[in-house]
Amino acid sequence: MEFKDNEPIYVQIAALICEKIITGQWPAGQRILSVRDLGVELEVNPNTVMRAYDFLQTLGVLYTKRGVGLFMADDAVEKVKAHRKQEFAAQYLPDFFKQLYLLDIPLDEIARQYQAFKEEQRKTKS
């Protein structure tokens, strides 16, 4: 994994895990990699992985079974999506709307482009 300089590594690891959850690579209820194992896989300090796991536990995405390990919550997908939607709305939409306004781009044009994008994604998955 290539890490960006402008964002803490544990946040980037949490985002990677969230992506794996949303795409179904890490199914709900499944036991996840240990701190040490994921640290080795990503070539980062286990303490950094622990911070990412702690962050995801505060969101309710992960939970601990004492003596067994960390597991994905049954509603992990919904919690990840809710968190990411909130984050997206706060971080990206204000600038996006500003650009639409400044460039005088109508929302129906954006809707058409988005529908074309979704159709292309469906074709790619097939």
Q: Tell me: the pLDDT tens digits for 74-120?
A: 999 999 999 999 999 999 999 999 999 999 999 999 999 999 999 99
| Structure token digits, residue 85 | 């939607």
| Structure token digits, residue 11 | 């946040």
| Total length of the chain | 126
- Beta partners for residue 69, in sequence order: 65
CA atoms within 13 A on the CB side of 111: 3
* pTM score of the predicted model: 0.80
Indicate the domain borders of the chain. 9-77, 92-126
Please, what is the Cα angle at 45 between 40 and 51, to 5 degrees?
A: 110
Q: Which fold has domain 9-77?
A: Arc Repressor Mutant, subunit A (1.10.10)
Q: How far apart are CA 114 and CA 11, in angstroms?
A: 28
Mean pLDDT of 3-11: 93
Q: Please enumerate, as own/partner, the contacts of 113-119 that have beta carbons within 8 Å and a separation of 24 or more.
A: none
- The secondary structure of residue 105, as a DSSP letter, is -
| Helix/strand/coil for 44 | coil
Q: How confident is the model at residue 1 (pLDDT cuts 50, 70, 90)?
A: confident
Q: Which amino acid is at 84?
A: R
